[in-house]
Structure 1
Amino acid sequence: MTEKKISISNNDRLGLISNLSTMLSAGIPILETIDSLLEDSKGNTRKVLEALKDDLSQGKHVYHAFSRFPKVFDTVTVNIIKASEEAGTLDVTLKDVKENIKKEAEFSDRVKSALVYPIIVMVVFIALLFVMLIVVIPRISSVFTKLNMELPLPTKILIFVSDALISHTALFFTIIAVFIIGLILLYRSKKDLLITILSSLPLISHLIQDIDLTRFTRSLSLLLNAGIPITSALELTQTVVVKKNVAKAIEHAKDVVSSGKKLSQGFKDAKKIFPVIMIKITEAGERSGSLDKAVLEISEYLEYQVSNTLKALTTLLEPVMLVVVGVFVGGMMLAIIAPIYGLISQIGSRGGP
C-alpha cells in the first residue's frame, strides 16, 4: 500500500497527535519522542511514525512527513503544522490539532449514531421479510394447495415471490452481495457523485450544508489561530467541504477579502449559504480584532444546530419507518389471512340451515 492510500482511524490519529503533543510539551526532543512512540505502535500508525523519523533525520520538517499521508492528515492540518514549525510553536499547535481531531471524531460519531436506528429497523424488517417468505409462506401455501383453494391475486403474488426466492436462493443472495459491494466501491470511487445525489434531497441537502459550514468554520479558526493569512486560510478550507456551492461561496469570500474588503462582506454576498447569525458574529469578531475566536463560536453554534437537526430527523424517521414496516407486514398477513377467512366463511355457510 502506497503512502497516499494509507489511513488510520480517528482514535489512532487522536492518540498519535496527543502523544506527540504531551511529550513535546514535556520538553522531550522530537526524535526521542518518536522513538518512544515506535516501541508501542503498530500497523499504519507505525508507518506514519517511521516516515516522520526518516524525514526529520534528513533535516526535513514534521509537516513534510505529514503531507505524505493525505488520508491521515488533510491539507488544513499540514499547513497548520507548517505554520507552527516556522513560528516555533509546534507543541502548542499540536494541542489545538488534537482538540480539533477530538471534536471532529465526536461530531462524526453523532452523525453516525443518528443513522443507527433506521439501519437497525431496516435490517430487522428485511430479516422478518425473509423468514416470512422462506419459512411461513411455503407452509401455508402447501395447505392452500391441498385444499385446492381459489386464491386472491395478492396471495398468488406472495406465493409466487416465495417460490421464486426458494428456487433461486443462491442467485438472490449473490445479487444482494454484488449490490452491496457495488455500493461500497461506488462510494469509494464516486464519493462526490453520491454526495451530489444526496445533496439534491431537500432535508439532506440542508443538513450536509450545515455540516460543511461547521467543518469550514472550525478549520478556518484553527488556521487563523496558527497565524496563516486569511486568504490562504480560506483557500485551504475549501478542501474540507463536500458541496460545490459551499466551496464556490468560500472561493468568492476569498476573492472579496483579496480585494481589500472584509470577510463578513464575502459572507453577505452569499446569504443563501452563510446564515445571518454567521455574518453578524463575523462582523463582531472583525470589530474586536478576534476573528479567529468569533469563527470558533460560529462553528460551535453550527455544531449545536446540526445535532438538533439530526435528533429531529431521527425522531421523524422512527414513526415513519414503523408505519412503513407495519404496512408491509400487515399487507403480507392480510394476504395470508384473507383466503383462510374465506374458507371459514364457506364452511360456515355450508353448515348453516
Structure 2
Amino acid sequence: MSISRSAAKKTAITSAGPRENPLSLFVWEGVDKRGVKMKGEQPSKNANMLRAELRRQGITPNMVKVKPKPLFGSAGHTISPKEIAFFSRQMATMMKSGVPIVTSLDIIAGGQKNPRMKKMVDQVRADIEGGSSMTEAISRHPVQFDELYRNLVRAGEGAGVLETVLDTIASYKENLEALKGKIKKALFYPAMVIAVAILVSAILLVFVVPQFEETFKSFGADLPAFTKLIVAASRFMVAWWWALLLIALVGIVVTVFSFKRSPAFQHFVDRMILKVPVVGQIMHNSSVARFARTTAVTFKAGVPLVEALDTVAGATGNTVYEKAVHRMRDDVAVGYPLNVAMKQTALFPHMVVQMTAIGEEAGALDTMLFKVAEYYEQEVNNAVDALSSLIEPFIMVVIGVLVGGMVIGMYLPIFKLAMTVG
C-alpha cells in the first residue's frame, strides 16, 4: 500500500530547503498498528527521515532502501504510440466527467508503470500548474506529441472542446495503431520464416555438408552435378562465412542509415514498395486510409484545410503520398477544391475523389472522409488476411527449395551408389 498524498507532500516540504541534496526515491516495507504488512515508494532526503515519517503515520518500517536503478537505465521504457492513445482516452474520459485537467494528469501519472511516461505526464502537469496551456505543455515533448496532435489540441482549446478533441485523437490513434499492427503482423511472419530457413541452410552448409563430403571421398565415384554445387557452396561458406556475415551486417546498417538520413533513398524505397504485387496494393490502401482519417479528424476539430493538409502529409506513412499531399496543399491554397487537387496527383482512387467532391458540395467533408477511411481500413484488413493465406504455400516452397533441395543433393550420391550396387 502506498503512502497518502498529504503525507508525501509533508515529507517533501519538511526535507526541502535551499541548496540541500535532492530527494531520492526509496522503497520500504513495514507493518501498521493492526499488524498488516504494507509496502510502497516515497521520495525522501535520506532513509532515517523516511523511517521517522513512516512511524508518524503509525507504520513500523522493517526495510527502507534506495530504489535500485534499472540495469540499462531507462532503456526499454520508451513511450509507445499506444501509451499516448491510452493517455488521450483517459484524459478525455476524466475531463468529460468534470475532473479538472491538473487533477486528471495527477491521477494518470500515478497509474503509470513506464517511468518515462510518468515523468513526462508529471512535467506536463507541472507546466500547466505553472500557467501554461495544454498545447504549450505538450509542445515541450515533440517526440511523443507530434505536430498533428499539437494542432488538434490547439484547435480543441481554442474552441473550448478539448475533451471532445482528446476523445477523437484517442480513437484516431487506436485505429491507426491497429492498422499498422495488422500490416506488421502480415509482413513479420514470412520474413521470420525465410530468415530461419536461410539460417538453417547456412548451418547445414557449414557444419553438416563437410561431414558428408568426407563420406563422399570414400566412395571414389564421380558426384552428381547438383551435389558438387552444394559441396562448392559449403566450401565457400566455411572459408568466407565471416565475410558474408560482415557484408550482411554492413548492408543492413547502411540501408537503415540511408533510409533514415536520405529523403531521396527513402522516397525510392517507398516508391518501389508501392509497385510490389499484393503488398504494394496494401500499402496504397493503407496510405489512403490514413490520409482520409487524419484529414477528417483535423478538419472536424476546426483546423483550416490548408493547415490540416500540411499536418496530414507526414501521417500518410509513405513519402510518395507525403509529397502528393504537399502538392495538394499548394493547390488548395490557391483556390482549387480538394477533390480537384487529389485528382491531379493520380494517386487516389476514383471513388475517393468522388466521395470527397460530394462531401465538399454537401459541407460534410469530414463525414465523407471518415467513411472513406473505414472502407479502406476494411480493405487493408481483408487484403492482409488474404495475403496470409497466399504466403503460406510460398513459404513452403522457399523452405522446400532451400532446405529440402540441400538434403536431396546430399543423398543423391547415396542413391546413385545403391543403384550401382543393385
* Same fold by TM-score greater than 0.5: yes
Query: Residue type of the partner of 2:410?
Result: I
* 1:342 alignment partner in structure 2: 416
What's the offset of the Cα at 1:113?
1.3
What letter is aligned with 1:269? Q
The partner residue of 1:196 within 253, 268, 281 is 268
Partner amino acid for 2:341?
Answer: G
1:235 paired with 2:310, answer yes
- Cα deviation, 1:11-62, whole Å, max 9, x if unaligned, reads 2112221222222222121112222222232322123213312321332221
Q: Distance in 2 between matches of 1:207 and 1:193?
A: 21
1:269 match: secondary structure: helix
Report the 3-state secondary structure (helix = DSSP H, G, I; strand = E; otherwise coil) of the residue aligned with 2:392. Answer: helix
Asked if 1 retains the 8 angstrom alpha-carbon contact of 2:128 and 2:134, the reply is yes
The whole-number CA distance in structure 1 between the counterparts of 2:188 and 2:129 is: 46
> Which residue is 1:315 aligned to?
389
In the alignment, which residue of structure 2 is the partner of 1:280?
354
Greater strand fraction, Structure 1 or Structure 2:
2
**Residue-by-residue CA offset, 1:117-167 (whole Å, 9 max, x unaligned):** 312321331243134224432332221123333323432332243345446
Equivalent residues, number: 342
Task: Give the Cα–Cα distance (whole angstroms) in 2 for the partners of residues 246 and 343 of structure 1.
Answer: 61
Which shows bigger deviation, 239-248 or 176-185?
Answer: 176-185
Q: 2:328 aligns with which of 210, 231, 253?
A: 253
Contact 2:306 2:332 (C-alpha < 8 Å) held by counterparts = yes
Q: 2:170 maps to what in 1? A: 98
8 Å Cα contact 1:221/1:296 also seen in 2: yes
Q: Which residue of 2 aligns with 1:351?
A: none
User: Are 2:347 and 1:268 equivalent residues in the alignment?
Assistant: no
Match of residue 70 from structure 2: none
1:225: how far off?
Answer: 0.8
Shift of 1:195: 5.3
Q: Residue 325 in 1 paired to residue 399 in 2?
A: yes
For residues 320 and 267 of structure 2, what CA distance do their matches in structure 1 show? 12
C-alpha contact 1:195 1:242 (8 A) present in aligned 2:
no
> Given the superposition, is the C-alpha separation of residues 243 and 103 from structure 1 closer, same or farther in structure 2, using an over 3 Å criterion?
closer
**SS of structure 2 residue aligned to 1:341:** helix
Deviation of residue 90 (structure 1)?
A: 0.9
Q: Which residues in structure 2 correspond to 1:44-123 (within 5 Å)? A: 44-123=116-195
The answer (yes or no) to whether the contact 2:110–2:118 under 8 Å persists in 1 is no
Check if 1:291 corresponds to 2:362. Answer: no
1:298-345 CA-partner distances (Å, limit 9, x unpaired)? 111121222233333333333233223322334323321222222223
Structure 1 residues 186 and 251: alpha-carbon distance in aligned structure 2, compared to 1, 3 A threshold: closer
- 1:12 counterpart (76, 83, 88): 83
Aligned-pair CA distance for 1:177: 4.9
SS at match of 1:200: helix
What residue in structure 2 maps to residue 226 of structure 1? 301
Which residue identity is paired with 2:221? Answer: M
CA 174–253 in structure 1, closer or farther in 2 if over 3 Å, else same: closer
Q: Secondary structure at the match of 1:8?
A: coil
- Structure 1 counterpart of 2:360, which letter? E
2:292 corresponds in structure 1 to 217
Matches within 5 A, 1:23-62: 23-41=94-112, 42-62=114-134
Quick check: 98-107 or 9-18, which moved more?
A: 9-18
Which whole-Å CA distance do the structure 2 matches of 1:22 and 1:162 have between them? 63
How much has 1:290 moved relative to structure 2? Answer: 1.3
Higher helix share: 1
**CA apart distance, 1:111:** 0.5
* Gap regions ≥5 residues in structure 2: 1-76
Of structures 1 and 2, the one scoring higher in RCO (CA 8 A, sep 6+) is 1
TM-align CA RMSD: 2.7
In the alignment, structure 1 residue 22 sits paired with structure 2 residue 61: no
Bigger-Rg structure (1/2): 2
Note if contact 1:34-1:49 (Cα within 8 Å) is conserved in structure 2. yes
Counterparts of 1:268 and 1:173, CA distance in 2: 47
Separation in 1, partners of 2:363, 2:272: 38
Which residue of the partner structure matches residue 155 of structure 1?
Answer: 227
1:188 shift after superposition? 4.4
Partners of 1:206 and 1:285 in 2: how far apart? 25
Distance in structure 2 (CA, Å) of the matches to 1:181 and 1:266: 38
Q: Which runs of 5+ in 1 are unaligned?
A: 1-5, 349-353
Partner letter of residue 342 of structure 1?
A: K
1:306 aligns with 2:380: yes
Give the TM-score taking structure 1 as reference length. 0.85
Are the counterparts in 1 of residues 290 and 373 from structure 2 also a CA contact under 8 Å? yes
Q: 1:257 to 1:178 in 2, by over 3 A?
A: closer
When the two structures are superposed, what TM-score results if normalisation uses the length of structure 2?
0.73
